[in-house]
Chains A and B, each alone.
Chain A
Amino acid sequence: MSWLSNLITALATGCIYGIMAVGVVLIYRTSRVLAFHVGEVGMLTAYAMVSVWTPQSGALQTSEAILAAVAVTLATGTIMYVLVERLGARFGHFIGTVITIAATIALNGLMSLIWGGQTYRLPLFPGAVAFAGVSLPLQNVAVIAIAAVTLSLVLVLMRRSAIGIDMQAIACNAALARLRGVPVQATLCAAWVLGSALAALAGILIASVSVVSIEGSIIGVSAIVAALIGGMTSIPFAIVGAFMLAGCETLVTLFGEPRFTPVIPVLCLLILLIVRPTGLAGRSEAISRV
């Protein structure tokens, strides 16, 4: 067991949590909905991909697998947006969160129905690379590289592109953004699709380093906790939260008692609530009262 190998494992896990956590933050900031269904979206996409792709697949099948993943992403993002916006407009913000909880149950059932609870391998990056005399699994290195590119693109998108600035405007004040001519509905839809896309990518990456299985959707919990640690409103702090969580989990597994890893997210949240209730970002938001 080398420290470098362990560090890379922890970093890769943090990257996967981070990608999904950013999706959670994007949806929350624009729609004020806590997206409980992100883990399921991730695994559904991984299942769709593994149905088409095998380790022996050529370029054509790989393209088909990517198309299948994109189709699932677009479908889940759009459907969730329509449901949340239609029902949320009538019944308020909380109904949106309830819809995402219902979606977790529905998507679990859908996966069970289609794939019968089977577990599949998705070895997208087999093999190892040697670095400083240590053999590192390529899957971990690839995950870190993909995450670095993805998260950089998201940050650039949010700060430099028109749609990103529109999303931030809606996050600050949706009514004012509408008055200023921001296409609120289209931008919200884009935020849901982007959130789904990030969840899907994280799902594919976690499946590539573990397996495709319904239980794999538990990664959604880690992503939500990472987003909560970050304060739910900040993309950079959600990423920091993801690395903190992954680091603690890896340390406990390697040097402590692996059975206690499910306690880590709860413990992190508890400490956060005591020390910094508004999250690492430290922004507090007004809670609307009925």
Chain B
Amino acid sequence: MNKARWTLAAAMILACAASVRAETVKLGYLTDTSGPTQDISKPSLEGFNLYIDRINKAGGVNGRKIEIDVRDTGIDTARAVATAQEMIAAGAIAIIGLPLSTVQAGVYAAMERNSVPVVAGYPSNIGLVLPPAKPNAFATGIVFDLAGYIGGEVARDATPNGKRFVCTSFESPGGIVSCKGAMAAAKAKGFEVVESVMFPIPTRDFRAIAERIVSLKPDAVLMVLGRSRLIAMTPALAAAGYEGAAISMEAGTGDDAVRDVAKGAPKIDMWSYTRFVSQGYGEGAQVTALAGAAKDSGIKEWIQVHSGGWALGMLIEDVVKRCASPCTSEKFQDALYNTKLDTGGLTGGPIQFTKDDHYGPTTYMLVHYDRAKDAMVPVKGWRNYSSTLPKF
């Protein structure tokens, strides 16, 4: 009899141990570490990993470790979809990361069929997350439709008397909707002539395109370019004789790149606008924590994409906390529907999701390159924007 009791007790202990092991929450992270957007995808993943490592080292979320399966997909949509399916087959309950709008739409659609939530982090998303949102599509980064519209509005601050506005971007879904929104907003803000100059994705020689932009005689140029194209385009604009305001949408560009190109183009008035803070401005508990973690891991200068990655990590921790054990895709998605996360200074307001709105109200800050200080200086602080776009 005693022997049977001992056997039963041992079996129960083993079962408990097994259930503790099963408490690991597994997520799939799609990124680009080999393709053309790796320069912005890597810092984003770096920021995310810094946060998740910190959580796991502290014992996880309510005792549950977060396991991240990171896979490189370049910016190949078919590969991203196939990889996401592999990851959910291997036990991932949600897909996160997704570096470029080109890939995101395909993954959202494929995962919707599998009832798996997708949370796109930094830097970009297309408007599937704005109300009325797709059931499984969430985003913490920038949404191009909205960010483009905001770009058209802040152009008025950069050029109070400007009459002509040009938006330039490359032919990705995000670039196209950004410029569409930007032109509508610029028109509403009183610019008399609004135009867009779009170019093919592989373009890196911008001399002729810059000449074309300058021929339109703009007072303000909105650049929806990302890091590598901004580094190439700004000197070309300067060489073509542009002397107006250039406003860079912070879409993985980084303040370090904006400062660098501004120094090489002394006649261009350089601006940027951002959803996340960068090293040099912003304050709060999480800003301090990120700064410390970045310093400890040897990051020379942390930029907005690091903040975005860190904020995505915070969101995952918050959602897992509210996801009852065992945390399934369905429960994870339900937890996402009721999110209100204070980012501790990384953004101007909380990250908020509801059943219909998977992006929430957002805040943006306009920053200006101060030549005397060689620094990006915030102008007027955070501005609030609704996630409901005007029709354009």
Interface size on A, as a range, is 35 or more
- Any chain A CB within 8 A of the CB of B132? no
Q: Is A249 a contact of B208 with CB atoms below 8 Å?
A: yes
Q: Note all chain A residues with C-beta closer than 8 A to B42.
A: 116-117
Interface residues of B in 4-43 (CB under 8 A from A): 34-39, 42
- Any chain A CB within 8 A of the CB of B322? no
Q: Is A253 a contact of B212 with CB atoms below 8 Å?
A: yes
B103 to chain A, nearest CB (A): 16
Q: Is A210 a contact of B204 with CB atoms below 8 Å?
A: yes
- Any chain A CB within 8 A of the CB of B239? yes
- Any chain A CB within 8 A of the CB of B326? no
With contact pairs A259-B199, A261-B200 given, residues A123 and B211 touching in the complex (Cβ less than 8 Å): no
- Any chain B CB within 8 A of the CB of A196? no
Q: Is B198 a contact of A206 with CB atoms below 8 Å?
A: no
Q: Is A253 a contact of B228 with CB atoms below 8 Å?
A: no
**Distance A232 CA – B200 CA, assembled complex (angstroms):** 27
Chain A residues touching B, majority SS:
helix
Interface residues of A in 1-25 (CB under 8 A from B): 1, 5-6, 9-10, 12-13
Q: Is B212 a contact of A216 with CB atoms below 8 Å?
A: no
With contact pairs A9-B207, A123-B264, A249-B208 given, residues A258 and B197 touching in the complex (Cβ less than 8 Å): yes
- Any chain B CB within 8 A of the CB of A140? yes
Fill in one digit per residue for B290-321: 1 if any A CB lies within 8 Å of its CB, else 0.
Answer: 00000000000000000000000000000000
Fill in one digit per residue for A169-200: 1 if any B CB lies within 8 Å of its CB, else 0.
Answer: 00000000000000000000000000000000
**Distance A290 CA – B260 CA, assembled complex (angstroms):** 57
Fill in one digit per residue for B200-221: 1 if any A CB lies within 8 Å of its CB, else 0.
Answer: 1011111111011011000000
Interface residues of B in 171-212 (CB under 8 A from A): 171, 197-200, 202-209, 211-212
Q: Is B207 a contact of A254 with CB atoms below 8 Å?
A: no
- Any chain A CB within 8 A of the CB of B227? yes
- Any chain B CB within 8 A of the CB of A215? yes
Q: Note all chain A residues with C-beta closer than 8 A to B215.
A: 1, 254
Q: Is A121 a contact of B264 with CB atoms below 8 Å?
A: yes
B193 to chain A, nearest CB (A): 16
B170 nearest in chain A by CB position: A259
Interface residues of A in 199-234 (CB under 8 A from B): 206, 209-211, 213-216, 218-219
Fill in one digit per residue for A227-266: 1 if any B CB lies within 8 Å of its CB, else 0.
Answer: 0000000000000000000000110011000110110000
- Any chain A CB within 8 A of the CB of B105? no
With contact pairs A123-B235, A258-B199 given, residues A216 and B204 touching in the complex (Cβ less than 8 Å): yes
Interface residues of A in 83-128 (CB under 8 A from B): 109, 112, 116-121, 123, 126, 128
A123 to chain B, nearest CB (A): 7
B37 nearest in chain A by CB position: A117
Q: Is B208 a contact of A211 with CB atoms below 8 Å?
A: no
A255 nearest in chain B by CB position: B212
Q: Is A9 a contact of B208 with CB atoms below 8 Å?
A: yes
Q: Note all chain B residues with C-beta closer than 8 A to A128.
A: 239
Q: Is A210 a contact of B38 with CB atoms below 8 Å?
A: no
A222 nearest in chain B by CB position: B205
**Distance A73 CA – B227 CA, assembled complex (angstroms):** 29
Q: Is A261 a contact of B199 with CB atoms below 8 Å?
A: yes
B41 nearest in chain A by CB position: A117
With contact pairs A1-B215, A215-B36, A259-B199 given, residues A119 and B208 touching in the complex (Cβ less than 8 Å): no
With contact pairs A121-B264, A215-B204, A262-B202 given, residues A116 and B38 touching in the complex (Cβ less than 8 Å): yes
Q: Which 5 A-B pairs have the closest CB atoms?
A: A117-B38, A119-B228, A1-B215, A253-B208, A210-B205
Offer 13 A-B interface pairs, CB within 8 angstroms, sorted by A: A1-B215, A9-B211, A117-B39, A119-B39, A119-B232, A120-B231, A137-B207, A209-B205, A215-B202, A254-B211, A259-B171, A262-B200, A262-B202
Binding site for A on B (CB under 8 A): 34-39, 42, 171, 197-200, 202-209, 211-212, 214-215, 227-228, 231-232, 235-236, 239-241, 260, 264
Beyond known contacts A13-B205, A254-B215: 17 more, CB 8 A cutoff? A1-B212, A9-B207, A9-B211, A117-B34, A120-B231, A128-B239, A139-B239, A206-B205, A209-B207, A210-B205, A216-B204, A218-B204, A253-B209, A254-B212, A258-B197, A258-B203, A259-B200
